[in-house]
C-alpha cells in the first residue's frame, strides 16, 4: 500500500465508515449501467487494482454499506465548505468527508452504531433540507463515491481531458454529537407516519366495495411479490418500482382500482415519500400504466383468450 495513493484513500474511507461489509458500485458513465459487488473491507482493498482498471475504462466507482451491514451512516450529498462548517458547529460532524469534484463534497454522518433503515432515511432527508443538499441522494441506501478514483462525469472533464480525483478529505470515523437527538426525532416522525398509514388502511378496508375486498388480498400479495424483486434491483428508487409493479399487475388483467388499493397498502413508505399527495400520486401512476401500449396489448390478449374460452363453453369431459 505504501506509495499507492488510491489504496491509501480507500483504506482511510473504509476505516472511517467502519462497516464489516460494503456494496461497491461500478457504473459506466456513458450508459449509466451499474455493476455491483458485495465485499468485506479486505476484499475491497484486494480488488483495488481491478477497480482502477474499471475506472480507467470509463466507470465511476461508488460505495455504500451493504444491506445486511449493521451501521448508522447517513449520506449527505452536494455540500460546500460552508455547509460542512455549519454541520460541525451544529453537532452533525461527518465521520468521513469526500471531495467528489473541486469544492463539492459528500459527508457520511454516523448517527448511531446501528440505526434502522427507516430512521436513516428520515435523517438523510432532514439533513438534506437543512443544508440544501441533493434531495435525490437523501435515502437510507444511496451510493456515495469511493475515494482514490477519478470522477468520470463529462461536466467535470477539462478541455485537456483531465478528470478530477475523488479525495478523502477527512476521516475521523466519529459519531455525530447530535446523533441521539436525530435518532429520537426520526423515531417520532416514523411513529406519526405509522399511525396515519394504519388509519388510511382501515378506512380503505371499510369503504372498499365488496367485489374489491373479495380479491384484494391476492392483489396486495402480487404487488408485494413484484416489489420485493424490484427493490433488490433498483434500490431506493421506489417510484420506479411502483410503476413497474403496477405495469405488471395491469398486464395480468388487474383493474385500475385494484392496483391503486394495492399501492396504497403495499408501496413502501408511500405516506412518507408522497406526504400530502399520496392519492394523486397513485392515480397518476395507475393512469400512466393503463395508457402504455404494451399494457393495452396484454389486456386485449387476455380479453381475447377469455372470449374464446366463453365461446367454447364449459369443459364437461371427465
Q: Which domains are assigned to the chain?
A: 5-181 (3.30.70.1790), 208-310 (1.10.1240.50)
Task: Give residue-wise pLDDT tens across range 8-64.
Answer: 999 999 999 999 999 999 998 778 888 999 999 999 999 999 999 999 999 999 999
Q: Report d(CA 258, CA 66) in Å as an integer.
A: 35
DSSP codes of every residue in 68-131: T----EEEEEEE-HHHHHHHHHTT---SEEEEEETTEEEEEEE--SS--HHHHHHHHHHHHHHT
Q: What is the DSSP letter of 251?
A: H
Instruction: Give me the phi and psi of 153, to 5 degrees please.
Output: -65, 135
pLDDT, residue 217, reads: 54
Cell of 284: 397518476
Task: Give residue-wise pLDDT tens across range 269-280.
Answer: 787 777 778 888
Strand order through the sheet with 96-101: 73-79, 104-110, 96-101, 167-170
SS3 8: helix
The pTM (predicted TM-score) of the whole model is 0.65
Choose between 300 and 25: higher pLDDT: 25
pLDDT, residue 207, reads: 53
Task: Give residue-wise pLDDT tens across range 132-158.
Answer: 999 999 999 999 999 999 998 888 888
Which string of b and e fits 152-189 if b means at least 16 CB within 10 Å?
beeeeeeeeeebbbbbbbbbebebbebbeebbeebeeb
1, 8 contact by CB (below 8 A)? yes
| Residue 203 vs residues 37, 264, 272, 285: alpha-carbon distances, Å | 43, 11, 18, 22
> Could you give the angle at which helices 278-290 and 238-251 cross, rounded to 10 degrees?
50
CB atoms within 10 A of CB 261: 23
Residue 206 has pLDDT above 50, yes or no: no
Report which of 56, 46, 60, 37 is spatially closest to residue 11, judged by C-alpha positions: 46
97, 173 contact by CB (below 8 A)? no
Report which of 115, 136, 114, 109 is spatially closest to residue 125, judged by C-alpha positions: 136
The residues near 188 (Cβ < 8 Å, ≥ 6 apart) are none
Amino acid at each position: 500500500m505504501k506509495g499507492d495513493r488510491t489504496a491509501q484513500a480507500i483504506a482511510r474511507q473504509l476505516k472511517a465508515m467502519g462497516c464489516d461489509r460494503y456494496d461497491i458500485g461500478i457504473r459506466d458513465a456513458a450508459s449509466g449501467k451499474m455493476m455491483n459487488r458485495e465485499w468485506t473491507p479486505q476484499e475491497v482493498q484486494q480488488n483495488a487494482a481491478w477497480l482502477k482498471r474499471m475506472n480507467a475504462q470509463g466507470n465511476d466507482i461508488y460505495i455504500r454499506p451493504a444491506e445486511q451491514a449493521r451501521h448508522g451512516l447517513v449520506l449527505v450529498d452536494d455540500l460546500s465548505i460552508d455547509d460542512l462548517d455549519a454541520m460541525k458547529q451544529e453537532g452533525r460532524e461527518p465521520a468521513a468527508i469526500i471531495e467528489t469534484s473541486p469544492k463539492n463534497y459528500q459527508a457520511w454522518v454516523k448517527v448511531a452504531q446501528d440505526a434502522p433503515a427507516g430512521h436513516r432515511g428520515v435523517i438523510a432527508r432532514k439533513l438534506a433540507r437543512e443544508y440544501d443538499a441533493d434531495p435525490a441522494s437523501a435515502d437510507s441506501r444511496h451510493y456515495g463515491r469511493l475515494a482514490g478514483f477519478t470522477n468520470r462525469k463529462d461536466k467535470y472533464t477539462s478541455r485537456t481531458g483531465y478528470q478530477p480525483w475523488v479525495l478523502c478529505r477527512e476521516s475521523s470515523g466519529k459519531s455525530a454529537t447530535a446523533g441521539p437527538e436525530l435518532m429520537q426525532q426520526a423515531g417520532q416522525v416514523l411513529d406519526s407516519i405509522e399511525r396515519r398509514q394504519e388509519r388510511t388502511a382501515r378506512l380503505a378496508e371499510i369503504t372498499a366495495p365488496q367485489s374489491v375486498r373479495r380479491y384484494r388480498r391476492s392483489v396486495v400479495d402480487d404487488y408485494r411479490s413484484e416489489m420485493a424483486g424490484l427493490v433488490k434491483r433498483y434500490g431506493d428508487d421506489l417510484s420506479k418500482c411502483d410503476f413497474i409493479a403496477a405495469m405488471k399487475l395491469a398486464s395480468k388483467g388487474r383493474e385500475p382500482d385494484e392496483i391503486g388499493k394495492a399501492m396504497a397498502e403495499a408501496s413502501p413508505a408511500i405516506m412518507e415519500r408522497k406526504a400530502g399527495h399520496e392519492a394523486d400520486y397513485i392515480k397518476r401512476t395507475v393512469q400512466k400504466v393503463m395508457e402504455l401500449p404494451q399494457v393495452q396489448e396484454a389486456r386485449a390478449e387476455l380479453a381475447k383468450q377469455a372470449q374464446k374460452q366463453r365461446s367454447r363453453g364449459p369443459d364437461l369431459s371427465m
